[in-house]
């Protein structure tokens, strides 16, 4: 298993799990960002669950179930494309690096799992 695949995927798992925890905890920065982009707070548990599902799926992929890893990476790519769209729609650019970085990690994880 190539080192780049493991490192990038573990980082992607960690950041998504961390953000899911912040979403579930309704951290102040999460609530502020949600309000800025027009996201109802009632969506936070669902979005956090999707992040957890993506992180778990990537972990399962690392453990050898490649198709689950691919599906999880695709799901995270779509999730963060949606997050970027929400930021653009609301014209909130001061913190766009965060969903952009998560999107880049998801894309990298997808490319690396496909390359396996």
Whether the pLDDT of residue 1 is over 80: the answer is no
* Residue showing tokens 């969903």: 99
pLDDT tens by residue, 50-89: 999 999 999 999 999 999 999 999 999 999 999 999 999 9
Phi, psi torsion values for 27, nearest 5 degrees: -55, 150
> How far apart (Å, rounded) are the C-alpha atoms in residues 54 and 22?
16
pLDDT at 69: 97
Residue 32 burial (CB count, 10 A) = 10
Query: Is 59 within 8 Å of 5 (Cβ atoms)?
Result: no
pLDDT at 116: 83
The full set of domain ranges for the chain reads 3-115
pLDDT tens by residue, 25-41: 999 999 999 999 999 99
Residue 114 burial (CB count, 10 A) = 12
């Amino acid at each position: 298993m190539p080192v780049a695949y493991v490192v990038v995927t573990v980082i992607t798992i960690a950041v998504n799990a961390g953000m899911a925890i912040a979403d579930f905890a309704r951290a102040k920065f999460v609530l502020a960002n949600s309000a800025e982009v027009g996201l109802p707070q009632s969506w936070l548990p669902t979005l956090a669950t999707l992040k957890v599902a993506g992180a778990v799926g990537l972990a399962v992929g690392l453990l050898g179930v490649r198709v689950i890893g691919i599906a999880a990476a695709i799901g995270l790519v779509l999730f963060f494309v949606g997050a970027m769209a929400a930021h653009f729609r609301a014209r909130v650019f001061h913190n766009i690096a965060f969903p952009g970085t998560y999107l880049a990690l998801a894309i990298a994880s997808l490319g690396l799992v496909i390359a396996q």
